Copies of this chain bind each other. A is one copy, B any other.
């Protein structure tokens, strides 16, 4: 038996290497990007599940592109689906991105990924035989000069972006950066895959318009928009969506049928009933308040201890710079000894890079209560200070 080289090329996901630590008794986990259980509206979901379970079509095969009622409900969540586009229901935003990149980029071709990067996107590229090249968009880089150069090198089949409350940084691109990026991609003829699962988790003002919305102002650019119910309804439903120009949506749907036939009928009916229940806005307000308090608790302890904590407006993560002279890999070991789990910056590097990320750590503020997150932050600062003394 020989395994396919595409499979053996999948890099070890450095975040999964942290799982064994997460289970240790007393460990406070700031590393995993999981919502806390009190962030689910369980009574609302129970009612939706009961309504769904009594429907025969919840148990049957259904359309490959998704349940028509769910397509309508999802289209109503954000901006309307543009003319000439279709919304496909997917198994989370991960499947939406996977289908979009595989539909656009054959094995052996190249796509652009931002640095730092959510590592599951690297796994996805490796499994599809796609070669990733890095680009970066820094807060001060309003003209995206570096991206212009990279796009001009040519032979790029697609560019992936997570411009809103990014994983791992929590930061968002400005409206000017978004428009400039779309202009560059239009000029280079490179389609954009916009991963946008955190948009609803804004903790103060709503974020800038998505690349998909702004694309109407930029003739000729192609944008696939990927959304998810995982971050504001429940990840266990495994439901996301993609909005794409109809021919690309059709190609993605055919790939999807070849892979796993169709979205989960029952989970889709649960989502339909939940989204129609009138509970979503109040639930979202509750989650936003919960996460805002947790983020503030985490950021203030770190700031006092000398971390450089960028000002982010939402999502689930902070990606602070450690105080001068600290390294994330070394801090990781001491933090584990102090029963707090963090994700070192290097976990978010493209293959063969990462040296520039050793002064960063990713910390998720969504998974622990305000009290426990303050305790976790204090343990982390304690671990650092003990090493200094």
Contact = CB atoms under 8 A, between A and B. Distances in A.
A355 interface: no
A40 B59 contact: yes
Contacts of A49: 49-50, 52-53, 266
A98 B259 contact: yes
Interface string A186-220: 00010100000000000000000000000000000
Contacts of A128: 258
Contacts of A56: 37, 40, 42
Contact of A106 (B6, B34, B45, B237): B6
Contacts of A54: 42, 46
A264 interface: yes
A263 B5 CA distance: 24
Interface in A289-327: none
A60 to B, nearest CB: 5
A267 B59 CA distance: 11
A18 interface: no
Contacts of A53: 42, 45-46, 49-50
A59 B44 CA distance: 12
Contact of A236 (B10, B61, B189, B258): B61
Interface stretch (A170-178, A248-256, A378-386): A248-256
Interface string A29-56: 0000011010010100110011011101
Interface string A81-97: 00000000011101100
Interface residues of A, number: 76
A235 to B, nearest CB: 5
A95 B102 CA distance: 16
Question: Which of A2, A35, A90 neighbours the largest number of chain B CB atoms within 10 Å of its CB?
Answer: A2
Given A105-B4, A258-B10, A235 B265 contact: yes
A45 B59 contact: yes
Contact of A259 (B45, B124, B262): B124
Contacts of A3: 103-104, 247-248, 251
B255 A127 contact: yes
Nearest to A245: B1
A133 interface: no
A45 B56 CA distance: 11
B46 A258 contact: no
Given A236-B266, A238-B265, A265-B236, A7 B102 contact: yes
- Can you list the 8 inter-chain pairs with the closest CB atoms, starting with the nearest? A236-B265, A127-B258, A59-B234, A49-B53, A123-B258, A4-B106, A91-B260, A95-B260
21 contacts: A3-B251, A4-B106, A7-B102, A7-B255, A35-B60, A40-B60, A58-B236, A59-B236, A60-B236, A61-B236, A90-B260, A98-B260, A106-B129, A107-B129, A120-B257, A120-B258, A126-B258, A127-B255, A235-B265, A237-B266, A264-B264
Interface of A: 1-8, 10, 13, 34-35, 37, 40, 42, 45-46, 49-50, 52-54, 56-62, 90-92, 94-95, 98, 102-107, 109, 120, 123-124, 126-129, 157, 189, 191, 222, 234-238, 245, 247-248, 251, 254-255, 257-267, 270
